[in-house]
Structure 1
Amino acid sequence: MVPKLRIAVVGGGIGGLAAALALTRKDHRVRVFEQAPELRESGVGMHLGPNGSRLLERWGLGERLRALGVRPTGMEVRDWAHGTTLVRQPMGDEWLAEFGAPYYTIHRADLHTMLAESLPSGVVRPGHRLERFTETGSGVRLEFAGGVRAEADVLIGADGAHSVVRRTLAGPDTAVFSGQSAFRGIVARDQVPALPGDTLLVWAGADARMLVYPVRGGEFLTFVAVVPDPRWRLESWTASGELDELAARFDGWNLDVKSLVAAVRETRRWALYDREPLARWSSGAVTLLGDAAHPMLPHHGQGVSQAVEDAAVLAHCLDAPSDAPSTPAGRRRIAAVLEAYEGARRPHTTRVQLGSRGGGSQRLRPDEDGGESTGTMSSLVQDVSWIQRHDAEAALPRIP
């Protein structure tokens, strides 16, 4: 019988909870240490590609995804000045047939809650801010603020773009400001009845873009407004944005966009930073997952799906037969399977990470007449089709 592992996951966001779910399904003893005093997710909507949803469905979350998420019927590029639809790409059942799993737009809090409620009681430990960790001859010792300590056989850093675990493993990184920031928020659709509740919308101006998509059954619309601004440099999901500045950025755009902006009551603003892919994720019995391993620009909408893929592959690798985890042979085995996990995932996530720099709606620009070509839309979809088609569990590494 395979000795089950004591696994510490640092970070209780979507990536950390996905890892915990994948690992508890393999009967490992998992604890998720979250620094916030209570487990909750803020934010607005997000994209869950077929490459992520197929795994969550296998983990038993398909019914709840269908209840809480929205499957957009199509994606439309509209003229920024006049609002007319320039091109429409069908999604819905066509993408289901093409990629083998649904594409969802879903509120971050809904997915976060879904994962948390799927975990056994006692797995998540809020109020634990990691300060340092040390690998010993028999495991990993974690030290938290306030003097609390814990021991584990394996440590997974799922603590986001500002990861304490990554900084210890790989040293400080250099975050490169993209020159852009994103206003984000959510509005009730009945405040903008002219906008559909089943479609992903993109308006692309010369240097700014507005993306809108439905969540919570189409009763609400998430907006993401990407604008150039060399002054706004705060990389935070929760930093407040100014409504007057948002309105000024889209003054002169079409009536639908201006009506949407006028309906916004609260917005957050997130400066967009890029980082070079890491040369390594793992050392001994410590590894990284999700944004801690591969923080990426949001233009492919793949942050969450890549974290879910990480979780599936990591759970597979850690379920390989081993000696007792506290023995020298067991320690070597853990290091080897974490290297196999990294070897399987890092080339793939590096390609996604680098591709996100110029992909997605970044490709959309008005032509001389203010319109968009179908070829541009086609290349936008092609940018992500190989990502959406990927099945992480069909490409699991062989563990010798």
Structure 2
Amino acid sequence: MDRFGQILGFCGLSTGAPRARRACPLVCHASSSDVVIVGSGIGGLAAGVALRKATNKSVTVLERSDGEDITDGTSISVWPNAWAALEALDRDVSERLRSGKVRVESGKVVKASGKVITSWNFDQVWKGFELRACPRQEIISELSTLATELGVDIRYNTSVERVDPSSSTIYVEDGSTITAGIIVGADGAGSRVRSSVLKDGSPNVAPLVAYRGIVEEKGISTRQALQVWDDSSSARFGSVPITEDKLYWFVTGPGTAPRGTSFVTSEEPLQLLDKFPEDLKDLVMKAKRIYRNGVVDRLPSLKWGEETVTLLGDAAHPMLPNLGQGAGAALEDALAFASALQEGTDDPNSAKKALRAYERSRFKRASIIQLRSRGISSLVHWDSPLPAALLSVAFYPPLVFNHCKYTPPLKFT
């Protein structure tokens, strides 16, 4: 057992099931680990898995919640680059996540009046193009189980107050501290790690609000991704099949909401869909739960870290959701991070060099996707007939989806 595991054992916190509710008692004042990852989202857990597979470092993941994620019932689109990253991380996990999920074969954008703006087959991008929707919590569950099996210690109910990069110390809200060889902020768009290190303010709040839900009904799914645009406003409806009997939908439109996820009734998204077809409104009303999110992003930043602290996922490059690349980019970060730390990071100087190398390796690609997401969002939500006119004549699938090409820097068998 590593030193951190011994300390946790002394405190009565031996490694257990990934969703167990655990918190370090106040008598446990200080501990240490080779690498501490703040945040147990997709990127944080994937980084823990990749690091344990690539190195012999001890890894601890700190999560402020109790593991019962409010977004259990939401889904994400898993694009080819995300599938490539998942396969490189663990083939068995990727196959379990694929099981039963519909492979989306085509896409269509139509006006609320029914007029088709554009349509395409994903095989036009490249043969075997793979897009599937997957409930977020399924991915979290698979990664947290694998991480625990590999020896990653996941500590729930542990809220980080701040970090000190000069001493590589994490200050926890319960008064305890953790010293780490390397600290990774994977704690989302409102990252406390980022605010401690970069001190570059809060993310940009977009004038958009997003609603999401899942409908379960026998035979409901198709193999087509759909977007419906209002003729007279910037409101948009979209849907992606998950399984043969499960469909994920989202609604976006003008407005603001607090960062994070909250439950709402169907009344709010239906206000945006006033002029939309009745069958789409019925889908919204059939969802057992409807989730509302405020939408935030940042412009690309040249600096992701300092000393032995770095960032990953939304903490490094929060992006608007229109390309569906938040999870994919975080998975890519995780593999690049582990690749950079494979050799020669036992002393602080070499660790710093490895972290800066990781950041440089990801900056260009992550920045391009951030800027594309912002540009697409501006175009899609422009309250004008011009975007539809442009899309109808200039939509070229191989160009639009070329960001989905990705070669992992590591592959674990």
TM-score w.r.t. structure 2 length?
Answer: 0.81
Asked whether the 8 Å contact 1:9–1:157 carries over to 2, the reply is yes
Amino acid at match of 2:211: F
* Structure 2 residue aligned with 1:398: none
Structure 1 residue 94: Cα displacement: 5.9
Amino acid at match of 2:79: G
Give the percent of matched residue pairs that are identical in Structure 1 and Structure 2. Answer: 27
CA distance, structure 1, for counterparts of residue 76 and residue 378 of structure 2: 15
Q: Following superposition of structure 1 onto structure 2, how do residues 16-27 of structure 1 map, counting pairs within 5 Å?
A: 16-26=44-54, 27=56
Q: 2:51 matched to 1:35? A: no
CA distance, structure 1, for counterparts of residue 245 and residue 378 of structure 2: 24
SS at match of 1:116: helix
Structure 1 residue 364: Cα displacement: 8.3
Residue by residue over 1:82-134, the C-alpha shift from the partner in whole angstroms, topping out at 9 and shown as x without a partner, is 3x65543113x6656265xx322111111111111211345211111112223
Structure 1 residue 382: Cα displacement: 2.2
Asked whether the 8 Å contact 1:70–1:106 carries over to 2, the reply is no
Residue by residue over 1:123-179, the C-alpha shift from the partner in whole angstroms, topping out at 9 and shown as x without a partner, is 211111112223466xx2222122233222111110001101000111142433322
Find 1:378's aligned residue among 396, 400, 404.
396
CA distance, structure 2, for counterparts of residue 200 and residue 346 of structure 1: 30
Q: 1:33 to 1:175 in 2, by over 3 A?
A: closer
Q: 2:181 matched to 1:153? A: yes
Amino acid at match of 1:75: G
Structure 1: unaligned runs, 5 residues or longer: 395-400
Residue by residue over 1:203-222, the C-alpha shift from the partner in whole angstroms, topping out at 9 and shown as x without a partner, is 1124111010122x232211
SS at match of 1:239: strand
Find 1:66's aligned residue among 84, 89, 98.
98
Residue by residue over 1:299-335, the C-alpha shift from the partner in whole angstroms, topping out at 9 and shown as x without a partner, is 111000000110101100011234xx3xxxx211100
CA distance, structure 2, for counterparts of residue 15 and residue 108 of structure 1: 12
Amino acid at match of 1:244: E
TM-score w.r.t. structure 1 length?
Answer: 0.84
Please give the root-mean-square deviation of Cα atoms over the aligned residues, in Å.
Answer: 2.6
* Structure 2 residue aligned with 1:78: 110
SS at match of 1:119: helix
Asked whether the 8 Å contact 2:189–2:296 carries over to 1, the reply is no
Q: 1:94 to 1:162 in 2, by over 3 A?
A: same
Q: 2:266 matched to 1:235? A: no
Q: Following superposition of structure 1 onto structure 2, how do residues 297-336 of structure 1 map, counting pairs within 5 Å?
A: 297-322=320-345, 325=346, 330-336=347-353
SS at match of 1:153: strand
Asked whether the 8 Å contact 1:51–1:305 carries over to 2, the reply is yes
Q: 2:405 matched to 1:389? A: yes
Asked whether the 8 Å contact 1:56–1:62 carries over to 2, the reply is yes
SS at match of 2:138: helix
Q: 2:223 matched to 1:198? A: yes
Instruction: Give the total of aligned pairs.
Output: 368
Q: 71-80 or 337-346, which moves further after superposition? A: 71-80
Q: 2:319 matched to 1:296? A: yes
CA distance, structure 1, for counterparts of residue 203 and residue 378 of structure 2: 22
SS at match of 1:357: helix
CA distance, structure 1, for counterparts of residue 210 and residue 166 of structure 2: 43
CA distance, structure 2, for counterparts of residue 14 and residue 310 of structure 1: 11
Q: 354-363 or 301-310, which moves further after superposition? A: 354-363
CA distance, structure 2, for counterparts of residue 42 and residue 69 of structure 1: 17
